[in-house]
Amino acid sequence: MAELIVNGRALQIDESRLDPHTTVLDFLRERGLVGTKEGCAEGECGACAVALVREDHAQRTAYIPVNSCLTLLGSVLGGELISVEGVRPSPDALHPVQTAMVERGGSQCGYCTPGFVVSMFSEYYRRDRPAWDPEAIAGNLCRCTGYRPIRDAMRDLGAPASDDRFLARLAQPTPILAGLTQLRTHAGQTPGQRQLLRPASLDELLDQLAEHPQAKLIAGGTDVVVEINQRHARWPTLISLEAVAELRSFTIDGETARIGAALSLSALEHHLDHAIPLLAELFPLFSSRLIRNRATLGGNLANASPIGDSPPVLLALDASLELRSRAGQRVVPLAAFFTGYRQTVLEPGELITHVHVPVRRPTHAHFYKVSKRVLDDISTVAAAFALELDEASGEITRARLAYGGVAATPARALDAERALIGRTWTRETVASVAALVTAAFTPMSDHRGSADYRVAMCARLLEKFFHETTDNRRIGPQPPPVVAHHGAQP
Amino acid sequence: MTSVGRAIPHESAPGHASGEARYTDDLLDRFANALHAWPVLSPHAHATVVSINAGVAASMPGVVKILTSQDVPGQNEVGAVHHDEPLFPTEIQFHNQPVAWVLAETLDAAREAAAAVVVEYEQLPAIITMEQAIAAGSFLTEPLTIIAGAPQQALTTAPQTLSGELHIGGQEHFYLETQAAIAAWDEAGEVVVHSSTQHPTETQIIVARVLGIPRNRVTCQSLRMGGAFGGKEVQANPYAAIAAVGAHATGRPVRVRLDRQLDMALTGKRHPFLARFDVGHDDDGRILAMDLQLYSDGGWSHDLSKAIMFRALFHCDNCYRIPNLRVVGRVLRTHKTSQTAFRGFGGPQGMVAIEDIVDRVARAVGRPPHEVRALNFYREGDHTHYGQLVRDAGRIEQIWNSLTQTSDFANRWAATEAFNAASTHEKRGLAITPVRFGISFTTSFLNQAGALVLVYADGSIQVNHGGTEMGQGLHTKMLQIAADALGVPLEVVRLMPTRTDKVPNTSATAASSGSDLNGAAVEHACAQIRERLAEVAGRELGIPPDDLEFAGGRVRPFWQRDDPTAGLSFAELVGRAYLQRVALFATGYYRTPHIHYNEATGRGKPFHYFTYGAAVTEVQVDGFTGQFEIRRVDILHDVGDSISPLVDMGQIEGGFMQGLGWLTSEQLVWSDDGRLATRGASTYKLPTLGECPEAFNVELLPMATEPSVVKGSKAVGEPPLMLAISVREALRAAVAGFGQQGAIELACPSTPEAVYWAIEAARERAAERAAAE
C-alpha cells in the first residue's frame, strides 16, 4: 500500500491495482474528486491543475502548480497535493482567490475555473512575491471570459492573513519521496507486466536502467505523458526520476553551470537568476509556468524534437551533456548529440545526468521564437544567436547561429557562422551571410507554417537580431518579464 | 431592491470556483456499473465499409459489447434537420468517422479493443478543398439568392469597380468541456439521458428515434455545459444516441465522453467560407452595387448549413446601405466533419467579407477607411436588401460618434501615422468597425419558449424553463426576472437543471435568443401566480389587488412600501393561498410576434430587432516576422437595458476575444487526404492571457431600452464576436503602413505568417513604385 496526502487527508492506495500509466488526474476523478477537469490532456489548458506540496529550489515547502493530466501517479505517490476541493477553507466560506473570481465575474461556463483557482492559489502563497506574476495564469485557457476579469481578480488579491492555515502548512516540511515499485499484471491485447520503478538514487537508477535498457524514463513527463494520453502509448517499464536527488543538483562557477538533467525549469530559472542572459530570454517563451514547474532540460534534449525550445539556446552557448550508464560516463557536445529526427547518441541504458553550460557573456545574444501565439506555443521557427566581437577592432571572433524548426534536428548554420568570423557587425555583413543561412536548411511545410515562411524567417530573424543589437531595442511582441517563482515566505 | 439590472455574479460562480459545480461526465460515479465507450475510427475520408470483424476485440478482457448498426432498435439515423446522418455508416464520409463503438468495463479496455477491431474498407475518391468541391459540382444546397435593386446594371454604370476573392477560415469551438453523455434505464422503464446539449428536446427526439420509442419514454437533462458556442446545438446528439443504444443493448448505464482529440476530429466547426465579389462605387467611396458570391464548406452532411448560409446572406450588408445588391450563397459538400453552428452562425463570415470590401473601396478612392465606412451607413428609414426596415438605424452613427470620442480616435489616427512615418520595421494600425446583428431564429417557428414555475407552500420557488446554461448566464438572468416578478429576494428562487420532462418541445438555446424567449416565458408564468396571490392578499388585507406591491419578499399596499412590517411576507401569503386552494404553479409561454421570411422571394422580416455595437482596435506589427500585439481595444455595445451587467460585460469581452482568436491564431489545417492536422490544444491555438489587451475598455450603450423585449433588454450572445473584425482591419491598416497603396490582401485567419506575406507584398509594391519613380 502507498499513501498520497490529498487536501490534508492521507489516501491509502493499493498501487498494484493501478496501471503505472495512471495519471494524477484520472486517479483524482476516480476517487470522486471531480472538480479537477480534463480539458486537453496535453498540458495546454490547465483545467486539471493541482498544487504539489513540494520543496522548492531552496528546500522550502511550497505550493507548486502542475498539470495533473501530465503527472503520473507513480511520480507523486508518497507525496502531498492540493486539488481544487482542498482550496475552500470551509463549507460556508470561500478562499479569497475563489471570492475574487466569483465577484469579478471570472467564471462563465466554469469548466476552466478550478484550474485557474489552483494556479492563483499557488501564486497567492508564493514566497517573496513582489507582484503578481502574469505568467501564473498564462498556462490556463479560458474560452468564455476573454481573461480580463480573471486578470483583475488576480491583481485584486492581497496577501494571506497571518493565521491562514495554508500559510501554516508552508512552515512544515514536505513528505520525502522514497523509492517505489509499482507493478501490475496487464490482461489486455498484449498481456504481461507493466511496472513503474522509482529509484531513490542515481546508483539505483543506473542498476535499473542496466536491467531494463528499453525502459521509458520519465522526468517531468510533460512530453511522455502526452504520448500516453493521446496515442495511448504503453511501456512495460517506466522509470520515474522523481526521487533521484543527484539529477536535481545545480552548481555554477565562473566558467560553467552544471545543471541536473531532471531539475525543473522553474527551479533552474531561480538558480540561474539571469546569470546566463540568453537562457533568461528563453524561459518566458518556454511553454507555461504549469509546464516549467515539471519540464526539465534533460527531457527537452533527450526527446530530441526538432522544435524543442532549449536546443537552439544551448547550441548557441556551446553546451555539452554529461551522459551516464553502468558502462561509464562521457561528455558529449550538444552539437554532436542529435543524430537524426528524434534520434540521439544515447545508448540503451544511458541517460543524460547533467547539462554543462559555459557562463559566457557574448557581446550580442538573443533568442527568438516565431509562433502563432506569443505565450505557451510551439515554435514555427526558433533561433538563438550569439556573437563575440573583438573590443578593439569590432571584428567577430565567435559566432553561433542556432535554429529549431527548420531541419530534422535543432542545428547551427555552420557556413554562415564561419563566414562571419573576422567581419564587422554591419548591415552589409548580415546581407552577405543571409544566403548562407537560408541555404543551410530545407524545412518542411506543416500546420505550424509553410516551408517558405520558415526559410524566410531564417534570414529575417538574423536581420532582426542585427537591428536590435545596433538599435539596442527589442522589436515585436515581448513576453512579460520573468518573475522568479516559488521562493521565501511572504 | 430589484434584482434585474444589478451586476450580480453568475448563479453558479461559487460552484465553479470551488469545483463543486458538476458537469455531465462528473455524474459518472452516480451510475454503478457504467460502461465506457470508445469509437472504431475510419482511417479514410471517403470509403465503403466492406466488413467489420470484431471477433478478437469482443473477446478481449473487459469488453462487453461492440456496437454496430445491428444494435439499433429504431432508425439508424441521427440527422437533425435532414435525415442524412447514419449513426453507424456503411459509407465513410470523413476521416475518422466512427464505424462502430466498443463498450467496456474501463476506458482503457474499450480503447485497446477499438484498435483491435478489423474493418475492411474500399477507398473512394475524396473531396477535401472548397475548390475541389466547386470543380466537382459537389453541393449540399441550391444557390440561395437575395437581390435588391438592379445590381448588374448598376455595376456597369458605376464610376469605379473592383473585384476580389477572400478565403475565410473556420473555427473549432473548443468548449473546455468536450462532448459527453450518460444514458441509463430508470425504474419506470424509460431512458434518462444526461447530455451536455444546447438542445435537450432534439437530443430527446434523436434518442427516441434511434430506440424506436415515443418521446414520452425519453427524458433528457442538460445540467450545465462547460461551454458550447453552438457546437452542442445539434452535434451533442450522436453521442447521446450512442449512449442510449449502448444502454439498450447491454441493460447497463453507458457513458460516452470524447477526449479533446476525438472531439476535434469528429465534431463540426465554424464553416470556412469563400467570397468572390464585384463592387461598384463612386469616387467618394459610396458603394452603389455589389455582386457577392458566397460558398461555405458544409462538410459531409446538411446539419444547419443552409440556415447558416442564410444568416451570412442576411449580414453581408452589416451597417451599410447598398442599393443594388445581389448575394448568392451555396453550401459545398466535402469529405470533412459536418460544419455546424458557431456563435454568429454565418453572420460573422458575411460581415468579414463586407468589411474587407469597404476597406478596399476606401483604398481605391484614397480615403481613410473609417470615413468611407461612415459614408455608407444605413440611415433611419432605410431597408435591408431583404426588405426589412433597419429599426434604430440611427444608433449606428450614435455609437460610432460616441466611440470615436471616447477612444480619442482622431488623435490616435494622427499618432499612428506619425509613428509609421518614423518607424521602418514596426508599423501600427488603427481601425474602427461597426456591428449590426439581427436577432431571432431565421427559421421562424423556433421562436417560441416555455417555462414552469413552482411555488412551494413555504414560499420557496423553483423555476424551470427550456433554455440551457452553457456559461452565458442565462440562468442568472432567469433568476433575476423571476425574483422581481414575484417580488422576492434571489435566495428563495432555485433554477432547476433543464429537463425535457419539465418543459416540452423547446427550441435550442441558440441564436442569442435564450433570455429574450425564455425570460418572457418565465415572466409570463410568474405573472399568473402573482395575479392569483394578489387576489388572496387583497382579500386578506382588505384592499384592491391592484394596489398591492410585491417587493423585497413582502406583499403590501404600495403606499406602505417603506414599511418593513406592513402587509404579509411572501411565505405567509403563499401559505394562506395554499389553504385557500389556490394553484401555486403555472406554465409560461412566449412566441416572438411578427416575424416571417419567404425564401422564394428573398423578402421578409426575419428579425425581431437588431443589436448594434462598434470597436476600435490598435495593433503593432513586427515587419521581420509578422508577429503582432494588440495595443488597445475600445468597445461600445448595445444590449438594451442590461438585465445583468456583469454577465453582459462578460459576453462582450469573451465574444470579442473569441472573434480575435478566429481571425488571428486559430487556424484549422486539413491534410490533402482529409485528416485534420490541428486536432489538439498544442496545434490549434486559442487566445491566452497574453492576447488579452492591457487597455481593454468596454462600455454598454446607455438609455437603450428595447421596448419589444422582456425587461427592455437585448440579446448579447453572438453580436460581440464580430467586434473583433476591428482587429483584422487594424492589421490591414498596419500592413498598409509598409508602403502599400491599393487593396490589402490579408489571409484569414491572420496568423503571423499571413501578416508576414501581406507585408512582403506591401514592401514589394512599394519597391516597384519607388523604382518606377
Who among A108, A111, A230 is closest to B473 (CB)?
Answer: A108
Residue with cell 508599423: B427
Asked if the Cβ–Cβ distance from A141 to B115 is below 8 Å, we say no
pLDDT of res. A481: 63
Q: What is the mean pLDDT of chain B?
A: 97
Q: What is the mean pLDDT of residues B554-576?
A: 95
CA distance A41 to chain B (A): 7
Q: Check if B127-170+269-386 and B394-440+607-773 are the same fold.
A: yes
For the whole model, what pTM was predicted?
Answer: 0.97
Give A329: exposed, middle or buried? Use CB within 10 Å, 0-12, 13-18, 19+. Answer: exposed
What is d(CA B294, CA B112) in angstroms, rounded to the nearest whole number? 44
- For A110, nearest residue in chain B (alpha carbons): B16
Q: Which of residues 351-410 of B touch A (CB under 8 A)?
A: none
Chain B interface test: which of A17, A109, A157 (most B C-beta within 10 Å): A109
B622–chain A Cβ distance below 8 A for any pair: yes
- For A187, nearest residue in chain B (alpha carbons): B61
Who among A39, A109, A232 is closest to B260 (CB)?
Answer: A39
Q: What is the mean pLDDT of residues A338-344?
A: 95
Identify all chain B residues contacting A227, using CB atoms and an 8 Å cutoff. Answer: none
* Choices 2.40.50.100, 3.30.460.80, 3.40.50.720, 3.30.390.50: CATH for A366-471: 3.30.390.50
Asked if the Cβ–Cβ distance from B224 to A109 is below 8 Å, we say yes
Identify all chain A residues contacting B682, using CB atoms and an 8 Å cutoff. Answer: 40, 42, 44, 226, 378
Asked if the Cβ–Cβ distance from B29 to A463 is below 8 Å, we say no
What's the DSSP call for residue B181? E
pLDDT in tens, B629-668: 999 999 999 999 999 999 999 999 999 999 999 999 999 9
- Residue B91 annotated in active site: no
B432–chain A Cβ distance below 8 A for any pair: no
pLDDT in tens, B605-638: 999 999 999 999 999 999 999 999 999 999 999 9
Asked if the Cβ–Cβ distance from A189 to B115 is below 8 Å, we say yes
Radius of gyration over every alpha carbon of chain A, rounded to an integer in angstroms: 23
Identify all chain A residues contacting B688, using CB atoms and an 8 Å cutoff. Answer: 138, 141, 147, 373, 375-376
Cis-peptide, bond into residue B749, ω within 30° of zero: yes
Residue B290 three-state SS = strand
CA distance B44 to chain A (A): 18
* Choices 3.40.50.880, 3.30.1360.100, 3.30.365.10, 3.30.70.141: CATH for B127-170+269-386: 3.30.365.10
Amino acid identity of residue A362, one-letter, is P
Cα torsion at A74, A80, A82, A88 (round to 10°)? 150
Residue with cell 410568474: B526
Domain boundaries, chain A: 1-175, 245-358, 366-471
Question: What are the distances in angstroms from CA B382 to CA A248, B320, B385, B606?
Answer: 72, 10, 10, 16
In chain B, the percentage of residues whose pLDDT exceeds 90 is 98
pLDDT in tens, B42-90: 999 999 999 999 999 999 999 999 999 999 999 999 999 999 999 999 9
Confidence of residue A376 (pLDDT cuts 50, 70, 90): confident
What is d(CA B270, CA B662) in angstroms, rounded to the nearest whole number? 9
pLDDT at position B113 over 70: yes
Concatenated DSSP letters of B579-646 = HTT---EEEEEEE--S-EEETTTTEEE--SEEEEEEEEEEEEEETTT--EEEEEEEEEE--BS-S-HH
pLDDT of res. A177: 92
- For B115, nearest residue in chain A (alpha carbons): A189
pLDDT of res. A483: 55
The residue from B177, B355, B718, B745 that is catalytic is B718
B221–chain A Cβ distance below 8 A for any pair: no
B618–chain A Cβ distance below 8 A for any pair: no
Residues 6+ apart with CB under 8 A from B80: B202, B206, B234, B237, B303, B304
Identify all chain B residues contacting A94, using CB atoms and an 8 Å cutoff. Answer: 14, 17-18
* Cell representation of residue A125: 502563497
The partner residues of A217 in beta bridges, in order of sequence, read A239
Query: Are the C-beta atoms of A156 and A104 separated by less than 8 Å?
Result: yes
Closest CA to B700 of B654, B740, B648: B648
Q: Is the ipTM beyond the 0.90 threshold? A: yes
Identify all chain A residues contacting B177, using CB atoms and an 8 Å cutoff. Answer: 37, 39, 109, 111
What is d(CA B439, CA B610) in angstroms, rounded to the nearest whole number? 6
CATH homologous superfamily of A1-175 equals Beta-grasp domain (3.10.20.30)
| Cα angle: A24, vertex A294, A255; to 5 degrees | 160
Identify all chain B residues contacting A368, using CB atoms and an 8 Å cutoff. Answer: 625
Chain B interface test: which of A143, A289, A446 (most B C-beta within 10 Å): A143
Residue B189 three-state SS = coil
Identify all chain B residues contacting A147, using CB atoms and an 8 Å cutoff. Answer: 657, 687-689, 692
Q: Which of residues 659-688 of B touch A (CB under 8 A)?
A: 665, 667, 669, 677-678, 680-683, 685-688
For domain B448-591, give the fold.
Answer: Aldehyde Oxidoreductase; domain 4 (3.30.365)
In chain A, the percentage of residues whose pLDDT exceeds 70 is 98
Chain B interface test: which of A23, A40, A103 (most B C-beta within 10 Å): A40
For domain B394-440+607-773, give the fold.
Answer: Aldehyde Oxidoreductase; domain 4 (3.30.365)
- For A34, nearest residue in chain B (alpha carbons): B26
What's the DSSP call for residue B272? P
What is d(CA B675, CA B45) in angstroms, rounded to the nearest whole number? 7
Asked if the Cβ–Cβ distance from A142 to B470 is below 8 Å, we say no
CATH homologous superfamily of B13-125+173-266 equals Aldehyde oxidase/xanthine dehydrogenase, a/b hammerhead (3.90.1170.50)
pLDDT at position A190 over 80: no
pLDDT in tens, B408-463: 999 999 999 999 999 999 999 999 999 999 999 999 899 999 999 999 999 999 99
3-state secondary structure chain A: CEEEEECCEEEEECHHHCCCCCEHHHHHHHCCCCCCCCCCCCCCCCCCEEEEEEECCCCCEEEEEEEHHHCEHHHHCCCEEECHHHHCCECCECCHHHHHHHHHCCCCCCCCHHHHHHHHHHHHCCCCCCCCCHHHHCCCCCCCCCCHHHHHHHHHCCCCCCCCHHHHHHCCCCCCCCCEEEEEEECCCCCEEEEEEECCCHHHHHHHHHHCCCCEEECCCCCHHHHHHHCCCCCCEEEECCCCHHHHCEEECCCEEEEECCCEHHHHHHHHCCCCHHHHHHHHHCCCHHHHCCCEHHHHHHCCCCCCCHHHHHHHCCCEEEEEECCEEEEEEHHHCEEECCEECCCCCCEEEEEEEECCCCCEEEEEEECCCCCCCCCCEEEEEEEEECCCCCEEEEEEEEEECCCCCCEECHHHHHHHCCCECCHHHHHHHHHHHHHCCCCCCECCECHHHHHHHHHHHHHHHHHHHHHCCCCCCCCCCCCCCCCCCC
Chain A interface test: which of B27, B660, B669, B689 (most A C-beta within 10 Å): B689
Residue with cell 485528416: B675
Identify all chain A residues contacting B757, using CB atoms and an 8 Å cutoff. Answer: 453
**C-alpha B307, offset from chain centre:** 13
Question: What are the distances in angstroms from CA A176 to CA A55, A219, A245, B708?
Answer: 9, 17, 11, 66
pLDDT in tens, A42-83: 999 999 999 999 999 899 999 999 999 999 999 999 999 999
Identify all chain A residues contacting B472, using CB atoms and an 8 Å cutoff. Answer: 108
Asked if the Cβ–Cβ distance from B656 to A142 is below 8 Å, we say no
What is d(CA B129, CA A142) in angstroms, rounded to the nearest whole number? 31
pLDDT at position A489 over 70: no
Query: Are the C-beta atoms of B471 and A110 separated by less than 8 Å?
Result: yes
> Residue A395, Cβ neighbours under 10 Å: how many?
15
What is d(CA B199, CA B190) in angstroms, rounded to the nearest whole number? 20
The partner residues of B430 in beta bridges, in order of sequence, read B618
Residues A245-358, CATH architecture: 2-Layer Sandwich (3.30)
pLDDT at position A189 over 80: no
Domain boundaries, chain B: 13-125+173-266, 127-170+269-386, 394-440+607-773, 448-591
Contacts for B139-143: CB closer than 8 Å, 24+ residues apart: B139/B330, B139/B331, B139/B332, B139/B333, B140/B298, B140/B301, B140/B302, B140/B305, B140/B306, B140/B331, B140/B332, B140/B333, B141/B298, B141/B305, B141/B306, B141/B309, B141/B330, B141/B331, B142/B330, B143/B328, B143/B329, B143/B330
Query: Are the C-beta atoms of A437 and A401 separated by less than 8 Å?
Result: yes
Q: What is the mean pLDDT of residues B508-522?
A: 96
pLDDT of res. A482: 56
What is d(CA B56, CA A70) in angstroms, rounded to the nearest whole number? 31
pLDDT at position A488 over 80: no
Asked if the Cβ–Cβ distance from B688 to A376 is below 8 Å, we say yes
The partner residues of B415 in beta bridges, in order of sequence, read none
B105–chain A Cβ distance below 8 A for any pair: no
Confidence of residue A358 (pLDDT cuts 50, 70, 90): very high
Confidence of residue B740 (pLDDT cuts 50, 70, 90): confident
Concatenated DSSP letters of B339-384 = ----TTTTHHHHHHHHHHHHHHHHHHHTS-HHHHHHHTB--TT-B-
